[in-house]
Every structure is written in C-alpha cells, then in structure tokens.
Amino acid sequence: MLFTSPEFLFAFLPVVYVGFLALKRFAGHRAIVSWLIVASMVFYAWWSPRFLVLLVASMCVNYVAGLAIERSFGFNRKAIAAAVIVANLAVLGWFKYANFFLDVAADIGVAPRTALDIILPLGISFFTFQKIAYIADIYKGVARSAGFLDFALFVFFFPQLIAGPIVHHAEVTPQFMKLGHLPRDKDRTLENLGVGFTIALIGLFKKVVIADQIARYASPVYASATSAPGVGALLAWQGALCYTVQLYFDFSGYSDMAIGLARMFGVRFPPNFNSPYRAADIIDFWRRWHMTLSRFLRDYVYIALGGNRGGEARRYVNLMATMLLGGLWHGAGWTFIVWGALHGFYLLCNHAWRRWSPWRMPAPLGWTLTMLAVVVAWVLFRATDMASALAILKGMTGVNGVWTPALAAHETPQALASALALIALCVVLPNSQQIMRAFDPTLGEVDARGRWQLPLAWTPSKRWAAAFGAVVVAVLLLSWEHSEFLYFNF
C-alpha cells in the first residue's frame, strides 16, 4: 500500500486514525498499541501476506534474543548478540544478494550460471538494520527491552516500516509507552494532527507533483542510454540532473510523509534529510542526506571497524569499507558498489583537504564541486548496469556532441532548465523541518535558517491554509498516476 494511493489516503489512514482517537478516549495504552500493530500488519500484508509471516517470525526472534542478552553475562551475552546479528544478516543476504553472488561466481568461472526464484520482501533492508541496531544497543546497555506489544509496534509501526527513517528503539519506544497515558493537560492531539498532516502534505507534494513529474524526463534517458550510437551532452545532463531532482524529492517526500504520519499519532521521528543539496562539501552532504542511514553506518560499521583509532591510514580504510558496505546495502549490483566506492573516495579527498590544505575553499566553489560530484555519482546509482552508466557519463563530457539524433524525442531543454531551477530552490527554500520549526517537528534540534534561505515558517493562518489548499488540488489532479517510492527497491 503506497502512501500516495487512494486506498491509503481515503480509506486506510482515516479508519486507523479514527480508531486511534476512539481508543485514546475510551480505552487505554494496550488497546491503542494493539490497534496500531494490527493496522500496520494490514498495511504490510496489503503488498504480500506471505512475507508478513517472515516479519513476525523475525520480530519474535529478535525480541527473545534481546531479553536473553539482558539476562546474560560475559561470553554468553556476546555469543547471543553475535548469533542473532548474523541471523539477521543471513536473512537479508539470502533474499537480497543470493542471485548477485551466484552471478559473480559464474563470471569468475567457479559455478554454472543460474538464478534462484527469489522475491525481495518489501522494506527488508530497513527493518533488518533497525533490528540489528536494537540488538547492538541492548548488548551495549544503551537500550532496554520493553513489553512485547511496545516492541512489536517498534518493528511494525507503518509510517517507517517500508523505507525508514531507521529509528532506534530508545528513541520511539518510550513514546509508544506513553500512548494513552498522558494526562489531559498534556494531550496535544489537535496540534499533533495539524503539524503531522502539514508535514505529510509537504511530502505528498514533493512526491506526486515534483518527483513523479520530472521522472518522465529522466527514465527514458537511462532506459535507452545504450541503444543510441552516442548520448549527446544535452540528453545526458538532462537524465543526470532530472534524476538528481527526482531522487531527492521522492525519498525526502517519503521521509516527510513518514515523519508527518507518525506525528499525527503523537510520535516524533528523527529527521532524515536536512537540505543535502545545500552542502558545501561531501562530508556535509552525508550529514544531511539519509541521516538515519548515515548514523547507522557511523555507529555500527565505521566505529565497529575502529573508526578514527589506529592512525590516519586506518581511518581512511575504515571509511572506504563503510561506504562500500553502504553502497552494497542499497542494491545487489556493481553500480551500487562503484557508487559507494566513489563516495568513499570523495570523503577521503575531503578529509585529506581539511587536514592538509592551508587554503579554505570559498563556499560557492565548494558547493559547485560538491553538486557536480553528487550528480556524477547518482548516474551510477540510477543506471541498471555499468554500460548504461558509462554511456551517460561519457555523454556528459561532451565527446558525443551536444545532440542525440537517435533519441531526439527524449531531448527536452525545458526539463533541463526545470531541474536546475529545482536544485536552486533546494538551496534557497527551507526544508520541511525548518518550515515547522516552531512545533518541534522531529527529535533533536532543527537547524536555524541559513544565510541564503527564504524566511518561511508555518503558522495556523488563512494564508497558509490557502497555500496548502492549492497543494491539495495539485496532488488530487496528479495522484491518479502515482508510482511507488524509489527506496522501496532497496
């Protein structure tokens, strides 16, 4: 069930929310949590009921393992934690990487070429990382197990079940435990509804009105990149820049909807995007892009490998290994591995520059170089294979000329101009958290408005109501052609 689909917007969400309000008034905590768990199971099973069994079984195993870790000491504690983390990774590896490794084995001649009939469970990468973080936090003592129902809601809560944000148990479970327990003077149901609905509507607008519309100018370029004798510069840059816009508005739109939907139920998530296309260097970019994944990779991979300990050379090795694993997490393919390696190389250069260069790069130049590096890497991220990626990257250099006669029907200068304009808006407009800053939209502090940002801040007013009324009209006009979120593939 997609957040943008009519069955979700006009049936599932209203029914679940009305039930939540009724139980909040007439029942209590256990009834509310149980209702949200059942609703979330329906939400997941709408796509494939059989994989609901896998998710329930995985949840039970991790819950029991968490209890066992808390009650064990010494070697037993470490052995249980290691075993359940390996089990989680094994499940992920089987569904996501089995065919990839079989292909690699066939390519190097150690096995015959074959393919297994495996369907990737929706959201498996996200809920696997979430449970690995839970087990690691229990082992380190930074999280404590809760009741079974609260843990089940932590796993199943539908706003973040499919594509994040990757939340920590210690961040949301205390909030779940308060559902139905707050005194009336601290109940902010109307504020939560208004703030949450507004953030979700911003995300819906990003997805339906921007991402889905500009995708039509990016997808044909990648689909036909290897069919033409040579992709010209105009078409290559059109595909690269339009996808750069599409990916950001698609995934940040999903994250906004997840954050907004959770807030409607009185739950605050950590932010997942903080205007990444405003970053002046690649280190800053990764502090702003897919922030909960970056946090996971830092805390559970980079630091586990040794982090900054062991000298500068070891630090760079750990950083590169982390980005390679981050690339592989996104997909079982060489394009994702090369994408991760490229960003690892970017980060090594950035850290080396900060450490050794006596010259401070001007912010406009740093921003330009960062955006260029990000756009080039996104070509690898989007392409279905290395041949397509190299064809587009070659075209971007201009060696094939400006035009692509064989693909003239796909060349749309207006799309290129629109992509550049939208990237500029990403720089000057505040993000959704900044717009809603006065209402504590997410966990943690919200960044203050930057130097070049426009001073937009939401308030319950007629002007904002009219603006969001126009957003609703735009969404309704275009929602009939809704498509799944890009990160559902990961």
3-state secondary structure of 157: coil
DSSP output for 61-122? HHHHHHHHHHT--HHHHHHHHHHHHHHHHHHHHHHHHHHHHHHHHHHTTSS-------PPPT
Q: Which of 361, 362, 396, 351 is nearest to 378 (CA)?
A: 396
The span from the CA of 59 to the CA of 80, in Å, is 16
The span from the CA of 126 to the CA of 210, in Å, is 25
The span from the CA of 167 to the CA of 296, in Å, is 9
Kindly provide the b/e burial profile for residues 285-297, where b requires at least 16 CB atoms within 10 angstroms of the residue's own CB: bbebbbbbbbbbb
Residue 330: active-site member: yes
Helix extents (H) in 206-362: 212-223, 233-264, 282-288, 291-297, 303-305, 312-330, 334-356
* Contact of 269 with 15, CB cutoff 8 Å: no
Instruction: Check residue 270 and report its DSSP letter.
Output: P
Q: Which of 194, 208, 281 is nearest to 472 (CA)?
A: 208
Instruction: Check residue 142 and report its DSSP letter.
Output: S
Amino acid occupying residue 278 = R
Q: Which of 486, 478, 402 is nearest to 204 (CA)?
A: 478
Tokens standing for residue 6:
């009519």
Give the active site residue among 330, 343, 410, 482: 330
List, by residue number, the catalytic residues: 330
